[in-house]
Amino acid sequence: MTGFRLLVVIVALAGGCTRTFKATVIQPNPLANQHETLRDSEKVQEPDPARATERATPVHNHRYPLFNVAAFTMVSKDRLRFHVQVDHKWEEYADLKTWQVYLEDDKGHRWLPEAIEHPTTRIITRMWDREVQTARRNMYGDIVALNDDGWKNRQTMGSLSVYRGRADFVFYQRDMFSVNVRSLKLVVKRPGEAFEFTWRFADNIASGE
C-beta neighbour count of 166 within 10 angstroms: 17
**Helices assigned H by DSSP within 2-140:** 91-94
What percentage of the chain carries pLDDT values higher than 90?
49
pLDDT confidence bin for 143, thresholds 50/70/90: confident
Q: How far is CA 125 from the centre of its chain?
A: 18
Enumerate long-range contacts of 49-54, CB under 8 Å, 24 or more apart.
Answer: 50/8, 51/10
Beta carbons of 103 and 196 less than 8 angstroms apart:
no
Specify the length of the chain in residues: 209
What's the rounded Cα separation, in Å, for the pair 22 and 34?
A: 30
Q: How far is CA 123 from the centre of its chain?
A: 17
pLDDT mean across residues, the chain: 81
Q: What is the pLDDT of residue 58?
A: 41
Q: What is the pLDDT of residue 61?
A: 43
More confident residue, 60 or 140: 140
What pLDDT, in 10s, does the model give residues 42-69?
A: 999 987 655 444 444 444 444 567 889 9
Q: What is the pLDDT of residue 192?
A: 87
Can you state the percent helix, strand and coil of the chain, rounding each to 5?
A: 5, 50, 45
Q: From residue 121, give the alpha-carbon distance in Å to each of 85, 89, 105.
A: 10, 12, 29
Domains of the chain: 8-125+163-201 (2.60.40.10)
Residue type, 2: T
- Find the helix or strand (DSSP H, E) in which 179 lies: none
Q: What is the pLDDT of residue 82?
A: 98
What pLDDT, in 10s, does the model give residues 109-133?
A: 999 999 999 999 999 887 666 667 7
Residue type, 190: R
What's the rounded Cα separation, in Å, for the pair 97 and 45?
A: 20
pLDDT confidence bin for 3, thresholds 50/70/90: very low
Q: From residue 112, give the alpha-carbon distance in Å to each of 76, 102, 104, 192.
A: 17, 5, 9, 20
Residue 188's nearest CA partner among 71, 20, 1 is 20
Q: From residue 129, give the alpha-carbon distance in Å to each of 62, 66, 154.
A: 17, 20, 10
Q: What is the pLDDT of residue 147?
A: 82
